[in-house]
Structure 1
Amino acid sequence: MHPWFSTDDPVDLGPVEGDPLARLLRQYGRAEWPLFLAGLVGSLLGRTTGLVPPLVLGVTIDAVLSGRTPYALPLVPSGWLPTASLDQLYLSFGLIVAAFALGVGFTWLQGVGMSVFSNRVQHAVRVDTYAAMQRLDMAFFDDKQTGQLLSVLNNDVRNLKSFLDSTVGGAIQLVVTVVGIAGVLFWLNAQLALVTLVAVPLLTVFTLWFMRRIRPLYRDLRGAVGELNTRLEANIGGMEVIKTTTAEGYEDARITEASKGYYDAALAVVRLDYLYNPTMDLLAGVAFAATFLIGGVWLVSGPPGPFTGELLVGEFVTFLFMTQRFVDPLAGVGRIVNAYENARASAERIVGLVETPVTVTEDPAGVPLPTPTGRIAFEDVSFAYREGVPVLEGVSFVAEPGDTVALVGSTGAGKSTVAKLLVRLYDVGEGRITVDGHDVRDLRLSDLRRAVGYVGQDVFLFDGSVRENVAYGAFDASEEDIEAAARAAEAHGFIAELPEGYDTRIGERGIKLSGGQRQRVSIARAMLQDPDILVLDEATSAVDTETEGAIQRALARLTDGKTTLVIAHRLSTVRDADTVLVIEDGTVVESGNHDELLALGGRYATLWNAQADLAPLPFDVVLTATED
């Protein structure tokens, strides 16, 4: 295996106590119990009516065709039954036809009831699981692969639905069939019934052994599915990189490795399954053969061995029909157990995701922030993504309302982490961050995040129309407001030239737009939301000079009068900031405005001199020159 191919297990989504499948059924099944009850009644009655034809056939053979016994049906008063043989034959015919017809109707009721029930539960589980996942901390997503989460939301939830739709009904039918047939057999001939049912204890013990062995194998299989999904999703999304770096062979090997993991996990399940199902068939078949042999000997030469009494031909025919119907569901126990263990493994992952603890929490009675002035203060803030690996240490600064504070420094110094802590994507390890004097941990999350707008280098756009992406987060914005924001962001011109203007679909992550166009759409989005605090994270570092000028002019309009944190590598873009903070290795090593830091002759001055010949004009200078 290539060393770059991760072997870490990304499946562990949190500890789960008890039976997760039973918990999901209790939580989501109760609201839909009428549908489940309809399916249950259909299943019970469908299997019950299925016992009528062989029972009536045996009675008819012994009473009507051979005249060995009176015509009698269980649970039916004798006074209701005809006395003439031909009428008895017609009644038997009618009962058999009616049983088959009712069986079709009850099977339909079971199918519809269980199907609607399972689909409603599937919908509720998927929606609630996504909602729970969406509220988890960013630290959770740092450690999890997208394919694993998609596997839970799609494959695992679908497994749960399949189990409820078909397997629950099958299990109910199995119980009804076994109990019903056992009752009929004992009613007909208790001695011969013991022969037929002797395999049941053996089947039960073997099934319990199988369940204990198959459970961890299904857990591994569900994890392998997520691992394969993760690799496939990553490769499809990164196809351009794969092709331009001629890495097809390397990725073939990685997909082969992930697929082999799934193959091995699936094969382990299949091997055990192929041991279990044939053994179940064998035990059930032996029970049928023993019934046939002993019953046949009984009819030919009288009761064998310890058996006593008389066995009629009709009884024996009913026994054979009933025993065959008894064998089939017993042999199908393996399919039910397999489906249960598969669904249980999926339920374990679903519950594990839902119950993942959240650390960035909100007090329901949090402090409101209706009209922030925009004062930001970092007070001796320290933070680490992983224990023992500090990213920020003792960072302190103040941004007064309307000020622009620039964060500069080398890649990985911790600049972007400042922005993430401000909006509480993570919580500080030590110290505190305040907005308008309130600790951000005391504020309502919705108020805090509405107050802060973010424009970054890595713009994320959704696969929808330009209009939908500009209005994202301001969903009730009018057409006039959307267009005004686009004009202010210098995006209206290129949007109007698109095939369908604002209704043009831009593809996944905005792939149909250029980098500069995507950036201006994100600026238009921020303008439409009109936040009181702005964070600009390398907002112009990946575009050409002409596009950068347009973006800088748009940013100048956006930041006018707002408290702004600018994260930049190009120092020319922050030369007019009120305060420049130089961050190295998570600490503030220099602080001051542009002129003060140049005069200091330290780290900032060194960086400035290195970039001076390449630096573009700052956005406020570009805007002024354009207006002139």
Structure 2
Amino acid sequence: MDVPADDDPFEEQRARTANPMRRLFAEYGRDRSGLFGIGVVASLLARMLDLLPPLLLGVAVDAIFLDEGPFALPLVPQAWLPTDPEAQFWLIVGIVLFSFLGGAGLHWVRNWGWNRFAQYVQHAIRTDTYDAMQRLNMTFFADKQTGEMMSVLSNDVNRLERFLNDGLNAAFRLGVMVVGIAALLLWMNPQLAVVALLPVPLIAVFTYRFVDTIQPKYAEVRSTVGQVNSRLENNLGGIQVIKTSNTEGYEADRVEEVSGDYFDANWDAIETRIKFFPGLRVLAGIGFALTFTIGGLWVFRGEGPWIFTGTLRPGEFVSFILYTQRFIWPMAQFGQIINMYQRAYASAARIFGLMDETAGIDESPDAEELVVADGRVEYDDVTFGYEDEPILDGVSFTAEGGDTLALVGPTGAGKSTALKLLLRMYDVDGGAIRVDGTDVRDVTLASLRDAIGYVSQETFLFYGTVRENITYGTFDASDEDVRAAAEAAEAHEFVSNLPDGYDTMVGERGVKLSGGQRQRLAIARAMLKDPDILILDEATSDVDTETEMLIQRSLDRLTADRTTFVIAHRLSTVKDADTIVVLDDGEVAERGTHEDLLAADGLYASLWGVQAGEIDDLPEEFVERATRRGARTDVDGGELPSSSTAGSGDADD
């Protein structure tokens, strides 16, 4: 489903985030304060050295070249200074050379400290954001697209790093320059310094107006970046459907549309920015021209013009002009820093808003580790719905330890949802689910999910080798264990025929393997885990008959001596289950063995008749209900979390 162009998917999270930049430094800067301090101290010392050459140039002009004043250096006793003009000249040269060499070394230290600090913060905030994101419940992922979340993890985190590395570094550097130069100007000639400082209040007001205008524009830019990423990720993931549907032109138009939204939002921000910076330069230029005019007249006439009094030597004027230029242009550059800050602020608000998102699945502080003894699973009057859409209503059934219980029923009956509640992908709205008498909400999530193996219809393989995918979740398994699991899953033979055997790369999402091969690797993964409870969600629905036979053989081994839940539309795969529970419209319609349910001649018998090809013998009521269910699924199905967004399989089953 497309995200409207004017809708920020993280607007709610962003709006409730207070002081994101202050929080950034409080939570992530404090642990690396040493690196921050190195950058600050080195920057301070480097800027102090940078301020020496203009001052020394003025002293040299007045005392050495024009002989219009004493040879004196700030903070240096007069007795330490030479009296010979040539010696004074070489002292000035030595100090200037030292200031450049020392400044170069300090600039390297400064950049090392700032860059190291920024990289550590970037790494920490990205990993923490990802960890917080992956712990959210599936409802959150149902409302967000992958590209939007990737935009936060990549673009927004990188923007913070750029601000910490470049913007913050520049802000401190320019701050030192402005304060240091202002102090020197006031020390050299307070009257002319007032003229040089006149643009500062105007620049401050101008900058404040810019910040107030640009902030919402950058928030819109961040939103449209997420929409572009989502569209591109969605299309690249569905490239096969696009090609087979011959819809390249249609999708190109959709990409052009979201890219156009980004263009408009970004250009709106750019227009504001490019008007702001020239305005700052005009203000700075006026201040510089005014200072040059008054100072020049002062030197030219030998006395202060208009209301100005005292004298101004040529060397002092040269130093003053050089400092004024260094002072005014940094003031203009603060606009660039404010620009970077606003971008970083918008990104930080999205990041912390996401990190503060409630997980939805709360773990009790008193939660204990789940220890499965018999493996008895009980659903007791379970009720659940997605937002305002009821899915399960008063569902009760029990799977005895070691038994196989099958859930069947029409599409949308709630089969997959019922078993996701066992895994606590969601929590029940009413009732309880118990394992060996213990409510699943009273045990730790890690121990609950560690005790349950899950094999879904849509097998997901990670980019990596066959071995890495089989051992996923059981990372310490030996090669012998991996091979044994593959053999039990009827996978070893085809894996051995792959170019690099177990070290063969499977490609992104396992695209280099067939559906049946991917399914058998998923079963091998579950066998290696050796769970106490097993969930098989349509594990053979998308394979041919021959492959189904191989997979079914491996499933028979996997389900032996453990409690197993099987979801199936193909009823032939579950007819030997110990108990079959038929769900219809979120309620238990029937339960019993295959033979019992056929004899009852109810919904199960009608479903069996459909698969046996006995369509003409079906009750008219069954056909009418199927028609109504199909219409309801078409309308309502899209409101439920889908596998493409949330990785949740057939959520409306």
TM-score tier by shorter-chain length is over 0.9
SS at match of 1:432: strand
SS at match of 1:410: coil
Match of 1:619 in 2: none
Match of 1:447 in 2: 447
Match of 2:472 in 1: 472
Match status 1:105 vs 2:102: no
Q: Which sections of structure 2, spanning at least 5 residues, go unmatched?
A: 616-653
Cα distance between partner residues in 2 of 1:491 and 1:120: 43
Match of 1:11 in 2: 10
Given the two structures, how large is their TM-score scaled by the length of structure 1? 0.95
Cα distance between partner residues in 2 of 1:204 and 1:5: 39
- How far apart are 1:9 and its partner, in Å? 3.2
Match of 1:371 in 2: 372
Which deviations, in whole Å up to 9, do the C-alpha atoms of 1:378-421 show, x marking residues without a partner? 111110111x2101111110111111111111112111001100
Match status 1:382 vs 2:383: yes
Cα distance between partner residues in 1 of 2:43 and 2:221: 31
Match status 1:47 vs 2:47: yes
Match of 1:28 in 2: 28
Over the matched positions of the two proteins, sequence identity in percent amounts to 53
- How far apart are 1:425 and its partner, in Å? 0.5
AA in 2 matched with 1:397: F
Which deviations, in whole Å up to 9, do the C-alpha atoms of 1:478-532 show, x marking residues without a partner? 1111000000000000000000000001011111000000000000000011111
Cα distance between partner residues in 2 of 1:356 and 1:594: 45
Within a 5 Å distance, the mapping from 1:606-617 to structure 2 comes to 606-613=606-613
- How far apart are 1:4 and its partner, in Å? 5.7
Match of 1:625 in 2: none
Cα distance between partner residues in 1 of 2:584 and 2:468: 39
Match status 1:394 vs 2:387: no
Cα distance between partner residues in 2 of 1:156 and 1:409: 45
Cα distance between partner residues in 2 of 1:159 and 1:4: 26
Cα distance between partner residues in 2 of 1:6 and 1:114: 39
Match of 2:628 in 1: none
SS at match of 2:455: strand
AA in 2 matched with 1:45: L
Match of 2:69 in 1: 69
Cα distance between partner residues in 2 of 1:46 and 1:265: 39
- Contact kept, 8 Å, 1:375 with 1:399, in 2: the verdict is yes
- Contact kept, 8 Å, 2:372 with 2:436, in 1: the verdict is no
AA in 1 matched with 2:314: V
Match of 2:202 in 1: 202
SS at match of 1:252: helix
Match of 1:334 in 2: 335
Cα distance between partner residues in 2 of 1:367 and 1:166: 48
SS at match of 2:11: coil
Whose relative contact order is higher, 1 or 2, with alpha carbons under 8 Å and at least 6 apart?
2
Match of 2:142 in 1: 142
- How far apart are 1:6 and its partner, in Å? 4.5
Cα distance between partner residues in 1 of 2:528 and 2:2: 43
- Contact kept, 8 Å, 1:13 with 1:349, in 2: the verdict is no
Which deviations, in whole Å up to 9, do the C-alpha atoms of 1:17-50 show, x marking residues without a partner? 4310111111111111111111111111111111
Match status 1:349 vs 2:322: no
Cα distance between partner residues in 1 of 2:453 and 2:119: 39
Match of 1:86 in 2: 86
SS at match of 1:539: coil
- How far apart are 1:613 and its partner, in Å? 4.9
Match of 2:537 in 1: 537
Cα distance between partner residues in 1 of 2:373 and 2:72: 87
AA in 2 matched with 1:12: E
Match of 1:594 in 2: 594
SS at match of 1:332: helix
Cα distance between partner residues in 1 of 2:380 and 2:480: 42
AA in 1 matched with 2:246: T
Deviation >3 Å, runs of 4+? 3-9
Q: Which 10-residue stretch deviates more, 496-505 or 161-170?
A: 161-170
Match status 1:362 vs 2:374: no
Cα distance between partner residues in 1 of 2:607 and 2:438: 35
Match status 1:320 vs 2:321: yes
- Contact kept, 8 Å, 1:407 with 1:583, in 2: the verdict is yes
Q: Which 10-residue stretch deviates more, 190-199 or 228-237?
A: 228-237
Within a 5 Å distance, the mapping from 1:425-504 to structure 2 comes to 425-504=425-504
- How far apart are 1:183 and its partner, in Å? 1.0
Cα distance between partner residues in 2 of 1:90 and 1:392: 90
- Contact kept, 8 Å, 1:11 with 1:226, in 2: the verdict is no
SS at match of 2:189: helix
Cα distance between partner residues in 2 of 1:9 and 1:247: 27
- How far apart are 1:359 and its partner, in Å? 2.0
SS at match of 2:60: helix
Q: Which 10-residue stretch deviates more, 573-582 or 377-386?
A: 573-582
- Contact kept, 8 Å, 1:28 with 1:124, in 2: the verdict is yes
- How far apart are 1:13 and its partner, in Å? 5.7
> Could you say if the C-alpha distance between residues 534 and 575 of structure 1 is closer, same or farther in structure 2, counting changes exceeding 3 Å?
same
- Contact kept, 8 Å, 1:49 with 1:99, in 2: the verdict is yes
- How far apart are 1:5 and its partner, in Å? 6.2
Match status 1:517 vs 2:521: no
AA in 1 matched with 2:330: P
Cα distance between partner residues in 2 of 1:50 and 1:313: 21
Q: Which sections of structure 1, spanning at least 5 residues, go unmatched?
A: 616-628
- Contact kept, 8 Å, 1:470 with 1:525, in 2: the verdict is yes
AA in 2 matched with 1:9: D
Given the two structures, how large is their TM-score scaled by the length of structure 2? 0.92
- How far apart are 1:457 and its partner, in Å? 0.8
Match of 1:117 in 2: 117
- Contact kept, 8 Å, 2:17 with 2:352, in 1: the verdict is no
- Contact kept, 8 Å, 1:369 with 1:444, in 2: the verdict is yes
Cα distance between partner residues in 2 of 1:192 and 1:559: 90
- How far apart are 1:370 and its partner, in Å? 2.3
